[in-house]
């Protein structure tokens, strides 16, 4: 599994409603989990012990989660949802 993680340098979230994609690049590995930073904003895909995998802003506010969360070293592929204020979107994560 570790070799697979080392080979993956970026992950992509595709917004289903308009096919816009957002790339997150591997930044570091902490406590056995990878941390990914969106290339155009200060947003992070990370693992938090209380909520599992999520998307958070630089202040630690969570607003995106996978449909099926797990505690694997990589964020789960597949459907993710975001919610921020009155907006909600569906994304597909791939790597």
Residue 51 has pLDDT above 80, yes or no: yes
Q: What pLDDT does residue 6 have?
A: 58
The answer, as to whether pTM is greater than 0.85, is yes
Supply the mean pLDDT for the chain. Answer: 90
Helix (H) / strand (E) element for 17: namely none
Q: What pLDDT does residue 94 have?
A: 96
Residue 32 has pLDDT above 90, yes or no: no
- What distance in Å separates the CA atoms of residue 30 and residue 40, rounded to the nearest whole number? 22
* Residue range 21-31: mean pLDDT, rounded: 88
Q: What angle do CA 65, 88, 93 make, to 5 degrees?
A: 45
Q: What pLDDT does residue 33 have?
A: 80
């Amino acid at each position: 599994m570790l070799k697979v993680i080392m080979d993956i340098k970026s992950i992509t979230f595709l917004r289903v409603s308009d096919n816009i994609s957002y790339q997150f690049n591997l930044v570091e590995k902490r406590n056995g989990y990878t941390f990914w930073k969106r290339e155009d904003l200060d947003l992070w895909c990370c693992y938090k012990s209380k909520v599992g995998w999520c998307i958070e802003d630089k202040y630690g506010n969570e607003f995106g989660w996978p449909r099926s969360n797990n505690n694997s070293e990589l964020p789960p592929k597949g459907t993710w949802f975001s919610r921020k204020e009155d907006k909600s979107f569906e994304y597909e994560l791939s790597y």
